[in-house]
Amino acid sequence: MALGIAACTQYRSVGVTFGEEGEGLDGFLCKDSSGRYLLDRGAPDAGLRTVSIVSDVVGLAGGKPGCRTGQLIRYCQRDGGLCNVSEGFRVCNTVDLPAALGSLDRELVREAVRTQLRTLSGKQLVPDTPDEHVILRMVATLEPCSTVQNKLDFDNDQLIGCVYSCPTLFDRTNEDVYLGFETLVGQCDQGVRICASRKLNWQQ
């Protein structure tokens, strides 16, 4: 996928990746406390259904925290909140993702999601980034683009996935930027809520 970045008077693209085997897509494979995939939310039938893929730039107040989830949360909670979604950078695309998955094997779900996200290849994820370390975040939600384009807070009950980058200086990177989600368990809906929150703060 291509991330459009304006650098001074020149325009260049930075690629993003979910890893060679799609390992970064764990944030799209989370389940809730009942053991149901978040991808299954509101899905009456099996197959594909259109969801919104919302890309944001998350500012870090000039800092560069570590990339681990715990490090980011601790940093973002300092001094009343150091992490904020930057206004004016949001882009919303749509993609068809699998739904009504039931007990389908996790790796099969991963490959199905990976296949569908490839349809975003070449599309702009954000129009620009500041000349400082920021996080690129990608949220999947059932809310339509017309609803989320101009509001910073997502409806937690409509979230179905989230991935993010390490703090990156995009104007100066020359390699693909990895988007992922750190979890050791399948029940990670709380992590999706944290990832999708405006300030990357703790969510119950």
pLDDT of 44 strictly over 80: no
Mean pLDDT of the 134-152 span: 95
Instruction: For 88-130, write each residue's pLDDT tens digit.
Output: 999 999 999 999 888 899 999 999 999 999 999 888 888 888 8
pLDDT of residue 37 exceeding 80, the answer is: yes
pLDDT band of 39, cuts 50, 70, 90: very high
**55 pLDDT more than 50:** yes
**pLDDT recorded at residue 127:** 86
For residue 202, pLDDT over 80 is answered with: no
Asked if residue 1 has pLDDT above 80, the reply is no
Which DSSP string corresponds to the chain?
A: -EEEEEETTEEEEEEEES-TTSGGGGGGS-B-TTS-BGGGTT--SSEEEEEEEEEEEEE-TT----SSHHHHHHHHHGGG---EEPTT--EEEEEEEEE--TT--HHHHHHHHHHHHGGGTTS-S-S---SS-EEEEEEEESS-HHHHTT-S---GGGEEEEEEPPSB-GGG--SPEE-B---SSSB-HHHHHHHHSTT-----
Q: How far apart are CA 84 and CA 11, in angstroms?
A: 25
76 vs 113: CA distance, rounded Å: 29
